[in-house]
Amino acid sequence: MNKPVIQYHYRGGIERGPNYDWRDGYSQGDTATIYYPWMTKRECQKDAARQECEAVFIRDGKEETA
């Protein structure tokens, strides 16, 4: 049985880590509704796992592959 899916849409750059490195930022919601906080891909995957779901990433209207 497949897990439910949560879509995370690309929003822009976010800073992470002690060196303030730039990473791609994602959040739930469509292009008209932006939810905060923005998260990195890894953070999104952990968020989805906590909800027993699978994370799917959308950028420029298309699903990203690995």
What does the pLDDT look like over 21-38, one tens digit per residue?
A: 999 999 998 767 778 889
> pTM to 2 decimals?
0.85
Q: Is the pLDDT of residue 66 over 60?
A: no
CA separation for the pair 27, 47 (Å, rounded): 11
Averaged over 8-12, what is the pLDDT? 93
Domain residue spans of the chain: 11-63
Residue 37: helix, strand or coil by DSSP?
Answer: coil
Residue 46: helix, strand or coil by DSSP?
Answer: helix
Between 56 and 35, the more confident residue is 56
CA separation for the pair 53, 44 (Å, rounded): 11
